[in-house]
Structure 1
Amino acid sequence: MNDDLREFYRMVRGSRERVFGWLDGLPPEVYTLERPDFAYGSLRNIQAHIAGCYLIWVGERGLGLSLPRTEAANISDVAAMHELYGQVDEVLERALNEFSALDEPLEVQWRGTPLTVTRRWLLLHPITHEFHHKGQLLALGRVLGHPYPPGPDTDLLLPSELT
């Protein structure tokens, strides 16, 4: 497997942990507070959507796994969401170990129609999707009166931060 993708995902996980650290410090009711004027409506729902993207694209479409769908409403708090991301990490680790021929065309089903992608795309799509929605997550936190604190930002970890 391409070690560059493995290292890249390590950076993604590290930056995700920063966001989890911020979310852990919020009052519990803020995490699940519904704001229908925001995409997905709550901090919890945004994170659940991101996790679902990884599990569906990489786990189901890429690896052929049959994974149970997790409804955001069934995730009670940040700790439970962190557990769901443990499953995401396991699926990504498996894909990083099993995917070969990263750039050969691969046909998957999307909304009932065939879609031609590559295994590399299957790995990178949910990562870019996560960062897109992370912006929404941070914007919602500001609107709710709990902005992400100054300090290390939520982009990729610096190489010096990897241990």
Structure 2
Amino acid sequence: MEFMSSYYKEQYEFVKESREVLFGFCKKISEEDFVNQNSSFGRGGSIRNLLVHVANTYEYWIANLALNKNIIYAEYENFKNIQDVIILFNTIDDFMFKFISELDYFDNGISYKIKNINHSTKPLRLFSHVITHEYHHKGQILSLARHLEYIPVDTDIMR
């Protein structure tokens, strides 16, 4: 399992590097535009709301379900600027590294319930879900920024 743990760590470092590029870009966006809601984009339609939604997904799947934490989800209104969101993602990173360090405990899978139906999944599937979810919304954030007349940056892992 040591190999798998190092694989997960390395993969998550790629995610964090890409996220840092996005955060650097977001620092150039005015605070007004950062929270400006556009109904054409889901999850509240602002860059801030999309980022907090991504964090909520990590909170739900990794912190609460996999790690059995009982945390209260971040709320959009509590984050006024990108610095607030960066602090939130530092907490997300802590959850992810704890999850990765405890991979051995998930030999029987991770159990969860959705709509009163019991499910079980492997850690790799859960890990893949949260990071691909982040990339999906990262694309929306960059598209939203373009609508706000900013020139998006390349946040791909391969740049």
Change (3 A) 1:118 1:111: same
Which ranges in structure 1 are unaligned for 5 or more consecutive residues? 159-163
Partner of 1:22: 25
Aligned length: 155
Is the deviation greater in 116-125 or in 19-28?
116-125
Cα separation, 2, equivalents of 1:103 and 1:126? 19
- Whether 1:34 and 2:50 are equivalent positions in the alignment is no
Q: Kindly indicate whether the alpha-carbon contact (under 8 Å) linking 1:106 and 1:118 is maintained by their aligned counterparts in 2.
A: yes
Q: Kindly indicate whether the alpha-carbon contact (under 8 Å) linking 2:15 and 2:157 is maintained by their aligned counterparts in 1.
A: yes
TM-score normalised according to structure 1 size: 0.89
- Whether 1:92 and 2:96 are equivalent positions in the alignment is yes
Shift of 1:103: 6.3
Shift of 1:141: 0.5
Is the deviation greater in 10-19 or in 32-41?
32-41
Question: How many percent identity over aligned positions?
Answer: 28
Partner of 1:9: 12
- Whether 1:109 and 2:113 are equivalent positions in the alignment is yes
Cα separation, 2, equivalents of 1:26 and 1:4? 34
Partner of 2:135: 131
Shift of 1:157: 5.2
Say which of 128, 142, 146 aligns to 2:150. 146
Partner of 1:74: 78
CA RMSD of aligned residues (A): 1.6
- Whether 1:54 and 2:58 are equivalent positions in the alignment is yes
- Whether 1:155 and 2:159 are equivalent positions in the alignment is no
Cα separation, 2, equivalents of 1:42 and 1:98? 34
Per-residue CA deviations over 1:41-100 (Å, capped at 9, x if unaligned) read 100000011011011101100010111211112111100000000010000011111121
Query: SS of the counterpart of 1:56?
Result: helix
